[in-house]
A and B are shown apart, each in its own frame.
Chain A
Amino acid sequence: MTSFQSELTQLRGSILEMMQLTKHQLEKSKEAFLNMDTALSREVIFNEARINAMELSIDRQCENIFALFNPVATDLRFVIAMMKMNSDLERIGDYASGLAGYVLKMKEPFKNEILEAVRMEEMFEIAITMVTEVMEGFRDEDDQMTRRVFQKDEGLNKINSSCAKVISELILKNPEITHNALFLFSATKKLERVGDHIKNIAEDIIFYREAEVLKHRK
């Protein structure tokens, strides 16, 4: 293996590690959120620093590859894609930590009826499945697996767009839950954004693998 090849392999490994870490953060964030587990929330917030550090380290790896090896063609697309995926993964990490933060800010547990009405658990599960699929698609170079996330993202968007109506109806019926419901409303928005970032990652993988730009295509 040339030193260039070994740099590319290392970069791939770092991104996979970052994906794994992000997935764990989302999973823990889900547990913390649904069970009002403050200890687990603190762990997620604490681990956010690891993701941030990793983002910087991957950026540095990419910068070095550009400067020292002048990649072209597939290699060039690969490094560009890794840089962009790195930044999307970091944002997903931010959302996981933000969701965990709500648990600490809430003065009382989320009400089950609202959690169920906004389909919070389902949204978490879709988002986690999306991260898993995009990670496996990337790891196994299985583009069919990678492409699965596009449909799932649409599902997340759909749930999210129904939330405003559902929540406003609940508040009208019972104004006391307003505080509780608004936190949940923000939480669903965060999960919807997680889906968008995973979709970006899938688009970047397809771009590097197939030289096809899927972004902003209707």
Chain B
Amino acid sequence: MTMHSVNGVPRLEARNLSVHYGEKLVLKNITAQIHAHSVTALIGPSGCGKSTFLRLFNRMNDYIEGFKKEGEVLIDGADIYHKSTKIEELRKTVGMVFQKPNPFPKSIFENVAYGLRIRGVNDKNILGETVERSLKQAALWDEVKDDLKKSALALSGGQQQRLCIARALAVEPSVILMDEPASALDPISTSKIEDLIYQLKSKYTILLVTHNMHQAGRVSDKTGFFYLGDLIEFGDTEQIFTNPKQKQTENYISGRFG
């Protein structure tokens, strides 16, 4: 068994996992284990299946037409596609941050409090504490603490993305999925998000899709390279970027692809 697992059980696991969208096979027999308190970067050219893989862990693919899955997707050893799994509960455990920041057209405070409110939490103290804690964790508190009632839409792109991270953290997930969280941001905001990812990993398990090779190198512990639905190589980020075992991985990360 590997490090960082609870009683030897990986936090996230795919076992012989294949996914079809209609006739199209988009993931081919993937087996991978992701351990708690780590950042795993998923890299590969567009259409390689990495986002599909990411979204399996909060069942966001379920509504895609023709979606069909074989094999197992497990969180803490439990199959999240089992009929007893409640999707609302799953999404409480697994937070998600998207490529483009998508704040609700509400105040900064209400954006972060949203997840708690829809769960029926209305206690002002709890809401206030959670909002403050989440904004602090997302490294946004100092910038917005005097403007919590202002519209979230007035924030900059980088601030909006950190707000979305705060919103995801407010419901205390244990896993955070990030689909190119910094691709629409300038280098300063990108660096803030990367610092944040680094800090968050002590509490969360993070799965990150990125097209930025160097971002993968900077923030992740493990890297998986997907190509045409295959997981070509999965290993320590340091090894992938200094001495990849597969020629395809080397060609991709060094920009010699195709």
Chain A interface (Cβ within 8 Å of chain B)?
A: 2, 4, 70-77, 211
Q: Which residue of A lies closest to B213 (CB)?
A: A72
Q: A71-B254, A72-B254, A74-B254 are in contact. List 17 more A-B contacts (CB 8 A).
A: A70-B214, A72-B217, A72-B242, A72-B253, A73-B241, A73-B242, A73-B243, A73-B244, A73-B250, A73-B253, A73-B254, A75-B254, A76-B241, A76-B242, A77-B243, A211-B242, A211-B243
Say whether B258 faces chain A, with CB atoms less than 8 Å apart: no
B120 contacts A by Cβ under 8 Å: no
* Cβ of A53 to closest chain B Cβ, rounded Å: 31
CA distance A77 to B242 in the complex (A): 8
CA distance A70 to B218 in the complex (A): 12
State A4–B254 Cα separation when bound (angstroms).
10
Of the candidates A4, A70, A73, A75, the one having the most CB atoms from chain B within 10 angstroms of its own CB is: A73
Q: How far is the CB of A77 from chain B (nearest CB, A)?
A: 7
Contacts between the two chains (Cβ within 8 Å), count: 27
Q: How far is the CB of B213 from chain A (nearest CB, A)?
A: 7
- B 245-258 binary contact with A (CB < 8 Å = 1; else 0): 00000100111000
Contact with A along B192-217 (1 / 0, CB 8 A): 00000000000000000000011001
Q: How far is the CA of A73 from the CA of B244 in the complex (A)?
A: 7
By a CB distance below 8 angstroms, the chain B residues around A4 are 255
> How far does the alpha carbon of A76 sit from the alpha carbon of B244 in the complex, in Å?
12
A2 to B214, CA, bound (A): 19
**Which partner residue on chain A sits nearest B244 by CB separation?**
A73
Residue of B nearest to A77 (CB): B242
Main secondary structure of the interface of A (DSSP, over half): helix
Interface of B is mostly: helix
Which residues on the B side are within 8 Å of A70 (C-beta)?
A: 213-214
Q: Is A2's CB under 8 angstroms from B250's CB?
A: no
Distance A193 CA – B241 CA, assembled complex (angstroms):
34
In the assembled complex, the CB of B100 is this many whole angstroms from the nearest CB of chain A, namely 26
Residues from chain B with Cβ under 8 Å of A71 in the complex = 254
Shortest Cβ distance from residue B198 to the other chain A in the assembled complex, whole angstroms:
19
CB distance from B239 to the nearest CB of A (A): 10
- Bound CA–CA A70/B216 (angstroms): 13
* Residue among B213, B242, B250 with most chain A CB within 10 A: B242
- Minimum Cβ distance to chain A for residue B54 (Å): 23
B243 contacts which chain A residues (CB < 8 A)?
73, 77, 211
Separation in Å of the B197 CB from the closest CB of chain A? Answer: 19
The distance in angstroms between the C-alpha atoms of A73 and B243, with both chains bound, is 5
Nearest A residue to B243 by beta-carbon distance? Answer: A211
Q: Is the CB of A2 within 8 A of B255?
A: yes
Question: Which residues of chain A come closer than 8 Å to B217, judged between CB atoms?
Answer: 72
A residues near B244, Cβ cutoff 8 Å: 73
B212-232 contacts to A, CB under 8 A, are 213-214, 217
Q: How far apart are A1's CB and chain B's nearest CB, in angstroms?
A: 11
Contacts of B254 in A (CB 8 A): 71-75
User: Which residues of B lie under 8 Å from residue A211 when comparing CB positions?
Assistant: 242-243
Min CB gap B107→A, angstroms = 41
Closest A residue to B253 by beta carbon equals A72
A75 to B244 Cα, complex, angstroms? 12
- Give chain B nearest CB distance to A13 CB in angstroms: 20
**Bound complex: CA A77 to CA B254 (Å):** 12
Residues of A within 8 A of B242 (CB): 72-73, 76-77, 211
Name the residue among B214, B250, B254 with the largest chain A CB count within 10 angstroms: B254
**Closest B residue to A73 using CB positions:** B250
In angstroms, Cα B246 to Cα A73, docked, is 11
User: Which residue from chain A places its CB closest to the CB of B250 in the assembled complex?
Assistant: A73
Closest B residue by C-beta to A75: B254
Interface residues of B in 113-136 (CB under 8 A from A): none
